[in-house]
Structure formats: C-alpha cells, structure tokens
Chains A and B, each alone.
Chain A
Amino acid sequence: MPILEVGGLSVSYGSALILDEVSLEVEFSQCVAVLGPNGAGKTTLLRAISRMVPSRGSIRYDGKEITSTSPHRLPGMGVVHCPENRHLFPEFTVMENLEMGAFTRRDKKAMGEDLERCFRIFPVLAKRKGQLAGTMSGGEQQMLAIARAMMGKPRLLLLDEPSIGLAQVVKEQIFQAVREIKGLGVTLLLVEQDTTMALGIADQVYILKQGRIAASGALEELFRDTRIKDLYLGMG
C-alpha cells in the first residue's frame, strides 16, 4: 500500500482552477519528484496535501483519509512540510528553529540523536547554533529549513524547491543531503524546477503542467520517451 495516495485532487482560487484532478501515489521510502514550470501548481499541490488550502478529491496517508484533518495535526502523524521560501523563524536562533521542528515530539533522547544527525548532515549548522536564522545566507537557511523539518521525525517529507535561488555548489550540497535523508528511509515528495538535480534522486516522476499531470512514470521510462524529455524535462 502506498504511504500517500492522492486521487482526483482539485484546487480553485476563486474561479481559477489551479489543480485539476491530480492523482499520484508515493510508495513507502521512495522519492517521488513533481516537476514542472513555474506556476504549474506544484506548491499548491504540497499545500493541499498538508491541508493549508481547501481542495476537492481524496488524500490518503497511511490508508487514512486526511482531507478533514487540521494542518497542525499532520506533523505529529509523520507528515512534515518543508515549505517553499523556507519560512524559518527569523528571530529564533538556529538551535531554537531546530527545537521548533521537534515541537510535537516528547521523546527527548531520540530528539538529541536526531539533532546530532542534523549536525552531521549539515556541519555548518553546528557552528551557527546561536546565530539568528534571519541573518544567515540563503544556502544556510535552506539547510536549516531541511534540518528543522527532519527534527519533526518525518515519515513523509514534503520538500518544496529546496534548491531554488542557490548557487550550483550549494545546490549540490543540498541534494547530497536530500539523498542522505532518503537513505535514512524517509519517504520524499520532492517538488523541483531544477530537473537535472531532481532526477538524480527520484524513483518516480510526475510532470505537472497547468495544474494537470502531463506525464508520469519511473525515471527510465520517461527518459526513453524523447518527446517528454524534450518537452518537459528541459534536457533536450
């Protein structure tokens, strides 16, 4: 059974239909990438899954319908959202941001271990524990956002454009980290515009265009289809 099943998901803002009957599945401990141009509805899809925007259709997590679940209940259930534009707490320190990530948790000991793991994946954060998040560079902020999400002990991590606006070297660091996180057995739903990067991690790919799934499949299948490759993957 997939850990996440989205079926016929539609979202409208006023009269504008932003997502039109989107369906997708994420298997346990896989990485599914949703690719697509700016404005395709990728962020809206993740926000609908974490119940930040109202939607029609079904969203099943762990076999349970979560469409009527309050958004703040999801992290406790293992669905953690690392949002677009990071949304750090700028006036909290690095450490305080990480503590907020573990807000719903009570398992002090495991939290300490997770913290050590975050510092292992992102050594720069260990050096900046006391720094205010708002004063860090873009790359460091993105690392903190991912680390903060990891402190929530996700089973399913929704990751929205972690590489956006970053220099190539930093992008590679971020993706190395995402690969490590996948290696820990965390299921990933990754949204990206940087196709090349995402393809290095994803097991399954969905291509979203104007609110609809335009293509989907395992990586190799999509690669064999040169039409898709040229049209959507931007690697022609």
Chain B
Amino acid sequence: MGYDILINGSINGAFYALLALGFCLMFGVARLVNLYHGSYYMLAAYFTYLFAVLLRWPLLLAVAASLSGVVAVAILVDRVCVNRVRQSSIAVMICTLGLAYFTQYLVRILFGPRYLSIPAFVSGNAGILGVVIPSTRLLAFGVGIGLILALWAFIGKTRAGRSIMAVAQDPEAATYMGINTAAAFTMATGISAFLAGVAGTVVAPFLSVDPGMWLLPLIKAFAIVILGGLGSLWGSVLAAFLLGYLETGVSLLLSTNVREIVFLAVVLLVLIIKPSGLLGKSLTA
C-alpha cells in the first residue's frame, strides 16, 4: 500500500507538474491567468488522434506534429486574443475561458462527443517494488521528470531562460538589459503549451479523450499553482507532487469520489495558514 501510493503518486505528480508548470510560467512572466491552458492538453490529445489514428502517421511523427500544432495554436491565441486585452486580467480570463469553450464545441463538432482512444508508445506492464503498473504510465513519468529537469536547466542556464526569468521579475528592467520582452512572452507561451501538450499526448493513452477533458486539469493546474505560491515554479512542482500523493492515497484508502474534495480542502487550509502559498509569492528559479 505504501509503495502503491509512492509510485502511483509520483506518476500522477509528474503529470500534474507538467500541467501546472506552464500555467505558472505564464502567470509569472506575464501575470496572465490563462484559462485556455487546459485546452492545450485537450488539443494535443485530439491532434494525436487525428494524425495517428485517422491519418495513420507513425506515432512519433504524429506526436511531434501534435505538439507543434498545439504550440502554433497557443501563439495564435496569444496574438489574436490575449495580447490585445493583456492590460485587464479579467478580460484575459473571460477571453481565454470563452475560447476554451469554443474549442470544446469545435472539437465536439469535428470529432463527435464520444470517448476516443489514442495509441500508446509502449504496452504491457512493469513491476517496481512489487507494484505492477502499466508501461505507458511509467513512460509518462519518465517524460514528465525529464521535462521538469529540462525546464530547470533551461531557465537556470540558457540565455533564453534567463531572459524569461528577468522579464518575470521586471519587464521594464529586462528591456533596459536589451531583452525583447515580446519575444520572451512568446517563448513562455510556447513552452507552456508544449508542456501541457506533452501531458495530453503521453497521458491520453491511458485516459479517455473527450471534448470536456480540458476542464478538470485546468482547475487542478490552477489550484496547484495557487498552492505552490503564485508564480513560484518549484512551488508548483512541490504542490503537484503533493496533489499526486494525496489523490492516490485518498483513492486507495478512502474512495476516488472524495479525492478532488480532499485536495481542494488542503489548498484552502494552506491558504488560510500561509496566504502566499507554499513557496512565497514571486517567481523564483
């Protein structure tokens, strides 16, 4: 039971971290609450269905095309909509939520309301510490951890990463350093969509793909980011794993029905004790 919670909790945690990091990045860099974030996740799954199942492309190519597609959509959404109303955070939320529903209905019209399934890279099961888990979940975990580490290295070590962190702290100062803040926003938007898209393509094989699949991950990402401390990337990772263990633990010990409630209760509790969330209030590398 303990190992069950540890292993399955870690797998879920890595998935939630993938979802939440991008949401957190956009908040940190542009003070944007992007309610379209869950739609990246959904679109990645549907793109994969389109390319891999309907068009029968090789899976790796289908996934690469899906991720490129999601990043392109994100940049388009930013150009066409978010960028124009950035001054007002309420307008950004309304606009991104509206687009999320629009996308949901569009997908419903194009693909139908039924649950779809998309192929996985690997099949079969693997055993770790006596716990048997599907190989797809193990792959999802590996990819998740790999990307978290890659983001960490990117932000800490590369010029582009440093420029994003500088813009997050003070866009005016960043401009005085010669940083193109618009380019930094676009880069953050792309990374954010890419991470959520990976969550959609690597996790979708063992979940169902349906037009409403964006909402719950969005709510969870939002809650994780608030719990971690708005804008704190590593706070988000911490909170994501916390959610992973908590959900797994609650599902195994109590029931799957209460796990959402338990997590939200924990978020509320933490916010009452420490309103700025687990790791402070601002974006820290």
A75 in contact with B176 given A87-B170, A89-B166 (CB within 8 Å):
yes
Q: Are A99 and B181 in contact (CB under 8 A)?
A: no
Within 8 A of B (CB), among A63-101: 70-76, 80-83, 87-92, 96, 99-101
| B178 / chain A contacts, CB cutoff of 8 Å | 72-76, 103-104, 152
In this assembly, does A52 line the interface, its C-beta being within 8 Å of a C-beta of chain B?
Answer: yes
Binding site for A on B (CB under 8 A): 159, 162-163, 165-166, 169-170, 172-181, 282-285
Q: Is there contact, CB below 8 Å, between A100 and B180?
A: no
**CA gap between A92 and B165 in the complex, in Å:** 9
A50 proximal to B (CB < 8 A) = yes
Show 15 residue pairs from A and B whose CB-CB distance is below 8 angstroms, ordered by the A residue.
A52-B175, A72-B180, A72-B181, A81-B176, A83-B176, A87-B170, A87-B172, A87-B176, A88-B173, A89-B165, A89-B166, A90-B282, A92-B165, A100-B162, A103-B162
User: A52 CA to B181 CA in the complex, in Å?
Assistant: 12
| Residues from chain B with Cβ under 8 Å of A88 in the complex | 170, 173
Q: Specify the chain B residue showing the minimal Cβ separation from A158.
A: B176
A80 and B176 form a contact (CB under 8 A): yes
B180 with A70: CB separation less than 8 A:
yes
**How far, in whole Å, are A89 and B172 apart by their CA atoms in the complex?**
10
Known: A91-B169, A91-B284. 9 other contacts (CB 8 A): A52-B175, A72-B175, A75-B177, A81-B176, A87-B176, A100-B162, A100-B174, A103-B166, A104-B178
Closest CB of chain A to B182's CB: distance in Å? Answer: 9
Ranked 3 nearest A-B pairs via Cβ: A75-B178, A87-B173, A104-B178
C-alpha spacing A104/B166, complex, angstroms: 14
Q: Is the CB of A71 within 8 A of B173?
A: no
Contacts of A91 in B (CB 8 A): 165, 169, 282-285
B177 in complex: contacting residue of A52, A70, A73, A100, CB < 8 Å: A100
Nearest CB of chain A from residue B28's CB, rounded to whole Å:
10
Shortest beta-carbon distance, B126 to chain A, in Å? 40
Q: Determine how close the nearest CB of chain B comes to the CB of A142; give it in whole angstroms.
A: 14
CA distance A72 to B259 in the complex (A): 48
Question: What are the residues of chain B within 8 A of A90 when measuring CB–CB?
Answer: 169-170, 282
Task: Provide the bound-state CA to CA distance between A226 and B181, in Å.
Answer: 47
The interface size of chain A toward B, counting residues with CB under 8 Å, comes to 28
**Chain A, Cβ-Cβ closest to B172:** A87
Given A91-B285, A99-B162, A103-B163, residue A72 in contact with residue B169 (CB < 8 A): no
Of A52, A74, A76, A89, which one neighbours B169 at CB under 8 angstroms?
Answer: A89
- Closest-by-CB residue of A relative to B169 is A89
Q: State whether B176 touches A89 (Cβ < 8 A).
A: no
Residues on A with C-beta less than 8 A from B177 are: 75, 100-101, 103-104, 148, 152
Q: Quick one: which of A112-148 are within 8 Å of B by CB?
A: 148
Q: Which of B172, B179, B285 contacts A103 (CB 8 A)?
A: B179
**Residue in A closest to B167 when the chains form the complex, CB atoms:** A89
Of chain B, the residue at the smallest CB distance from A51 is B175
Q: How far is the CA of A91 from the CA of B235 in the complex (A)?
A: 15
Q: Are B159 and A103 in contact (CB under 8 A)?
A: yes
With a cutoff of 8 Å between Cβ atoms, the chain A residues found around residue B283 in the complex are: 91
Q: How far is the CB of B24 from chain A (nearest CB, A)?
A: 15
How far is it, in angstroms, between the C-alpha of A99 and the C-alpha of B177 when the chains are bound?
Answer: 10
Q: Note all chain B residues with C-beta closer than 8 A to A70.
A: 180
A207 to B: closest C-beta gap in Å: 26
Which residue among B170, B174, B181 has the maximum number of chain A CB atoms within 10 Å of its CB? B170
Contact B175–A100 (Cβ < 8 Å)? no
CA distance A87 to B159 in the complex (A): 20
Within 8 A of B (CB), among A144-160: 148-149, 152
Q: Complex: how many Å from CA A28 to CA B264?
A: 63
Decide: A71 and B175 in contact? CB cutoff 8 A: yes
* CB nearest neighbor in B for A101: B177
Complex: how many Å from CA A162 to CA B174?
19
Shortest Cβ gap from B283 to chain A (Å): 7
> In the complex, A90→B177 CA distance in Å?
15
B176, B177, B178, B179 interface centre (most CB from chain A within 10 Å): B176
Enumerate chain B residues within 8 angstroms of A92, measured Cβ to Cβ.
Answer: 165-166, 169
| Closest residue of B by beta carbon distance from A87 | B173
- Distance, CA A138 to CA B91, complexed state (A): 37
